[in-house]
């Protein structure tokens, strides 16, 4: 953890119109910053969405900001686009946190952003995120607090403390708000930093920034100093400045817009999201989160921060709490007959050490070993185990010995392909082997699954929720992979787009696998899906099709070379490039969800089809939070401007 604020760095004279990434000039390229990042790798979680890439600290409840901010990242971005209307101007982001708004505005709206963050630890993560998203030419970070009249005169090493302020930061960020700020004295879980204080007007003058047309506020109480600053009042009175964000002490601002005085309700909704995301956990963790929510709500009611008007205005606290409790009640259902869950791994010679994550993740407290050993079967479908009975028996015994202590049962089965079929023949072979005795849920994975899944927590939490009976029956198929492929990308402008290039081979594969006379068009956007094929399926979805369908599929991909022959217009040609690139398997990535009854145009997880639980319309959600839980999210909990 950094000892204090990082020195103020002035942007180069060309900013915000510099060309390139400012390599060597931007604070995010500092050598000490890079060394700090290297040392923090094991403590940091990562989340990617819509082309943006963010990092945050891990903690017992997941990551403390990624989960709540990603829920409304795009929606808030659209609101700001509607409000600002133009690209290329300058935003001052007061309370930049991890850089969600700053980076979004820079990357999507080409705006220049001065990102001010007081917490030295969060500031380090802000630097990391700015560089990771390649917006160093547009976002300039400042590690400082804002006050009424400060000029940044703070250097504890030399005894200069005129404009120093002390920040108290909760070391256990999971129990504090997103800023990490805490009360009380230093020590006993509270770290203290001395940070330079500036008035916003003095800071802008020192940095040579003259034109600002947007001020975003969310600084845990410094809003009064900022809005009272003569420079801000001058910009506001001239009509040049637009203001957005949150006001944490609205009583200090007579006449302030009610849309900005929503911090308490915003926090309450985010606590509900956290409560909902852990609905399937053990009682100890669930009860602790529920206690946090109840005590926070009671305190807000007692202090008048939450009133009946908030409920009348549409804030969904009652609905959200009722829904979280309804989700929790799912675990009281009678267990389904048969095995709860099988994990199918398409294997060659990869390291499988990541399988231990189903028992315990290093950065989390939960130990799920007992439940996994009792309820989860591991089936390894081996694709390249050598020849000869002796070699295969020895390899099978090695795998059973290594992984037997971790699972209810470990089974090793060899699948021999005429030509390379990888996951296609492995997955189909399992379905054929166990069609009459399928588990309630089957998880299909590659042996290098962590390379395809954004966070192992998405996978491990989903499995844990499934075996404990906490998944609603409406969830039949869930994709775990992170790369959502838009096959029609650019096809409206280019004749050589990927969808159009793949169309002939994909059309043939579709017709052969499904026995159809027509096929959907990739170039027209009829089919979209995730790459690569890591997913969970309920047995009812597998049995939508007869066993003969899967037997036909295995013959097409694995026990004959037909899938390769059909890639060539005539004859029975097999090209070496297709075998090395396993072309049929690459094309088949986009049909698995259709096999199991999903829409051809598979929606992104956060936009998946809605199911109804206890009369409440909810959306199937796998990636709202960074932890990527397969949970149900009340539509009303999406905090939007219209709801406010």
pTM recorded for the entire structure: 0.60
Cα–Cα dist 598/345, whole Å:
22
pLDDT band per the 50, 70, 90 thresholds, residue 85: low
pLDDT, position 626: 20
Q: CA quadruple 406, 407, 411, 416: dihedral positive or negative? A: negative
Alpha helices by DSSP H, 316-421:
317-329, 369-375, 389-403
Report the chain's terminal Cα–Cα distance, integer Å. Answer: 37
pLDDT band per the 50, 70, 90 thresholds, residue 187: low
Which helix (H) or strand (E) segment holds residue 632: the answer is: strand 631-634
pLDDT, position 1: 39
Q: Give the model confidence (pLDDT) of 129-185 as tens digits.
A: 999 999 998 899 999 888 878 887 887 777 777 778 877 766 554 443 344 444 456
pLDDT band per the 50, 70, 90 thresholds, residue 402: very high
Cα–Cα dist 297/317, whole Å:
9
Mean pLDDT over 91-102 rounds to 90
Strand pairing category for 190-198 and 214-217: unpaired
pLDDT band per the 50, 70, 90 thresholds, residue 230: confident
Give the 3-state secondary structure of 136-204.
CCCEEEEECEECCCCECCCEHHHCECCCEEEEEEECCHHHCCCCCECCCCCECCEEEEEEEEECHHHHH
Cα–Cα dist 363/45, whole Å:
10
Neighbours of 394 (CB within 10 A): 12
240 or 464, greater pLDDT: 464
* Token pair of 531 as six digits: 């790459």
Q: Give the model confidence (pLDDT) of 166-180 as tens digits.
A: 777 665 544 433 444
The count of C-alpha atoms lying within 13 angstroms of the C-alpha of 276, restricted to the half-sphere facing its C-beta, is 33
* Residue 525 pLDDT greater than 90, yes or no: no
Looking at the domain 27-261, which fold is it?
Answer: Rossmann fold (3.40.50)
Mean pLDDT over 295-320 rounds to 71
* Residue 547 pLDDT greater than 50, yes or no: yes
Mean model confidence pLDDT for the chain: 78
Question: How far from 267 is each of 6, 263, 479, 631, CA to CA, in Å?
Answer: 29, 6, 30, 20
Strand partners, 611: 618
Cα–Cα dist 378/401, whole Å:
12
Neighbours of 7 (CB within 10 A): 10
Q: Which residue has the tokens 């015994």?
A: 397
pLDDT, position 276: 75
- Could you give the percent of the chain with pLDDT greater than 70? 76
pLDDT, position 535: 94
Looking at the domain 341-484+528-561, which fold is it?
Answer: Spore Coat Polysaccharide Biosynthesis Protein SpsA; Chain A (3.90.550)
* Residue 76 pLDDT greater than 80, yes or no: no
- Chain center to CA of 432: 34
> Could you tell me which of 5, 58, 150 has the C-alpha nearest to residue 363?
58
Mean pLDDT over 497-508 rounds to 88
Mean pLDDT over 458-469 rounds to 90
Q: Give the model confidence (pLDDT) of 254-291 as tens digits.
A: 444 444 444 556 666 667 777 777 788 888 888 888 88
Cα–Cα dist 641/644, whole Å:
5
Strand partners, 458: none
R_g over Cα of the chain: 27
306 or 628, greater pLDDT: 306
> Could you tell me which of 200, 207, 96, 194 has the C-alpha nearest to residue 148?
200
pLDDT band per the 50, 70, 90 thresholds, residue 329: confident
pLDDT, position 185: 60
- Residue 170 φ then ψ, to 5°: -70, 120
* Residue 523 pLDDT greater than 80, yes or no: yes
Instruction: Give the range among 86-95, 239-248, 420-429, 562-571 with minimum mean pLDDT.
Output: 239-248
- Chain center to CA of 291: 26
Q: Where are the domains of the chain?
A: 27-261, 264-332, 341-484+528-561, 606-637
> Could you tell me which of 131, 167, 141 has the C-alpha nearest to residue 9?
141
Mean pLDDT over 462-473 rounds to 87
Q: Using an 8 Å Cβ cutoff, are 67 and 627 in contact?
A: yes
């Amino acid at each position: 953890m950094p000892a204090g604020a990082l020195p103020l760095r002035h942007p180069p004279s060309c900013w915000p119109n510099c060309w390139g990434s400012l390599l060597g000039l931007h604070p995010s390229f500092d050598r000490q910053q890079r060394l700090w990042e290297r040392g923090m790798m094991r403590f940091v979680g990562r989340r990617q969405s819509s082309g943006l890439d963010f990092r945050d600290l891990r903690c017992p409840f997941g990551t403390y900001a990624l989960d709540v901010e990603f829920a409304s990242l795009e929606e808030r971005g659209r609101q700001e686009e509607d409000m600002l209307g133009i690209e290329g101007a300058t935003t001052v982001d007061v309370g930049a946190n991890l850089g969600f708004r700053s980076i979004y505005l820079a990357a999507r709206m080409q705006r220049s952003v001065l990102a001010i963050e007081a917490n030295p630890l969060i500031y380090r993560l802000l630097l990391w995120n700015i560089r990771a998203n390649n917006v160093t030419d547009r976002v300039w970070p400042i590690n400082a607090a804002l006050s009424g009249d400060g000029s940044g005169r703070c250097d504890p090493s030399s005894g200069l403390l005129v404009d120093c302020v002390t920040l108290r930061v909760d070391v256990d960020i999971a129990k504090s708000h997103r800023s990490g700020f805490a009360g009380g004295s230093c020590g006993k879980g509270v770290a203290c930093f001395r940070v330079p204080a500036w008035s916003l007007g003095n800071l802008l003058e020192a940095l040579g920034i003259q034109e600002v047309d947007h001020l975003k506020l969310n600084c845990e109480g410094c809003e009064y100093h900022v809005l009272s600053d003569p420079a801000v009042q001058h910009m506001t009175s001239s009509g040049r400045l637009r203001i957005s964000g949150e006001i944490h002490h609205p009583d200090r601002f007579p006449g302030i817009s009610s849309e900005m005085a929503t911090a308490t309700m915003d926090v309450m909704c985010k606590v509900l999201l956290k409560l909902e995301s852990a609905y399937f956990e053990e009682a100890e963790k669930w009860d602790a989160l529920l206690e946090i929510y109840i005590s926070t709500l009671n305190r807000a009611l007692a202090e008048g921060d939450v009133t009946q008007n908030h409920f009348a205005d549409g804030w969904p606290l009652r609905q959200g709490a009722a829904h979280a409790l309804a989700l929790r009640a799912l675990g009281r259902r009678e267990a389904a007959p048969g095995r709860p869950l099988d994990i199918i791994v398409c294997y060659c010679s990869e390291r499988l050490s990541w399988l231990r994550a189903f028992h315990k993740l290093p950065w989390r407290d939960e130990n799920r070993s007992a439940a996994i050993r009792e309820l989860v079967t591991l089936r390894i479908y081996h694709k390249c185990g050598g020849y000869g009975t002796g070699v295969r028996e020895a390899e099978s015994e090695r795998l059973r010995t290594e992984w037997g202590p971790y699972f209810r049962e470990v089974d090793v089965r060899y699948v021999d392909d005429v030509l390379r079929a990888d996951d296609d023949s492995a997955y189909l072979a399992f379905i054929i082997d166990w069609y009459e005795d399928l588990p309630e849920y089957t998880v299909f994975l590659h042996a290098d699954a962590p390379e395809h899944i954004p966070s192992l927590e998405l996978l491990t939490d989903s499995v844990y929720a499934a075996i404990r009976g906490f998944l609603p029956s409406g969830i039949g198929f869930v994709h775990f992979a992170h790369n959502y492929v838009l096959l029609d990308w650019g096809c409206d402008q280019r004749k050589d787009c990927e969808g159009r290039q793949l169309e002939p081979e994909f059309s043939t594969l579709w017709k052969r696998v499904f026995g159809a006379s027509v096929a959907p068009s990739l170039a027209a956007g009829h089919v979209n899906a995730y790459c690569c094929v890591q997913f969970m399926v309920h047995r009812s979805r597998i049995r939508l099709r007869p066993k003969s369908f899967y037997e036909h599929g295995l013959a097409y991909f694995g026990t004959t070379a037909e899938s390769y022959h059909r890639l060539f217009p005539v004859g029975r040609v097999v090209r070496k490039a297709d075998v090395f690139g396993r072309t049929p398997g690459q094309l088949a990535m986009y049909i698995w969800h259709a096999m199991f009854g999903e829409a051809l145009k598979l929606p992104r997880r956060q936009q998946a089809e809605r199911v109804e639980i206890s009369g409440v319309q909810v959306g199937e959600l796998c990636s709202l939070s960074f932890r990527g839980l397969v949970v149900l999210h009340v539509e009303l909990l999406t905090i939007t401007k219209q709801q406010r």
